[in-house]
Structure formats: C-alpha cells, structure tokens
Amino acid sequence: IFIYILSIIYLSVCVIETIFAKRTLNKIGNYSFVTSETHNFICMIMFFIVYSLFGNKKGNSKERHRSFNLQFFAISM
C-alpha cells in the first residue's frame, strides 16, 4: 500500500511539474527533449525526498538500504 501511495504522489508531482514547465516554456518555444529529461530528473528528486521523509524507519540499516533501492528504481522506471 505504501508503494502505491508513493506512486500516486510521484505521478501527481510530475504532472504538476509538467504543467508549470509548459506554461513557463510557452514563451520560449518548443518543449524539447532536454527540458523533458530535466523535469523527469526533478520528479525523481522529488520522489526521493518524499520517500526519505515518509519512508519506513524500522529494520536494520542494510535491510532498509536494500529495500529502498529496489523500491526507488522500480517506481522511477
């Protein structure tokens, strides 16, 4: 359930980010590939921040680290 909630938050942040980016870039011209990848990177950073703030705090350090990497890369793909 926690993964699904994080996925919804991640997608919401990305949609809002894209809307603001398109509004900002209407004056510049086309929404380029570089701009799109930049905003995807920003979305990944936002997801990382949300996950680290609301992540699972129990378990030992190695187990948390391994679990975090698996969940982070699964959702960001």
Print pLDDT tens along the chain (77 aa): 677 777 777 777 777 777 776 666 666 666 566 666 777 777 777 777 777 776 655 555 555 556 666 666 666 65
pLDDT for 10: 72
Question: Is 0.95 topped by the overall pTM?
Answer: no
Both tokens assigned to 30? 């086309």
Whole-number pLDDT of residue 19 = 72
- Distances in whole angstroms, Cα of residue 65 to Cα of each of 3, 20, 72: 15, 33, 10
Per-residue pLDDT at 72? 65
Which residues fall within 8 angstroms of residue 61, CB to CB, at 6 or more apart?
none
Alpha-carbon distance 40 to 45, whole Å? 9
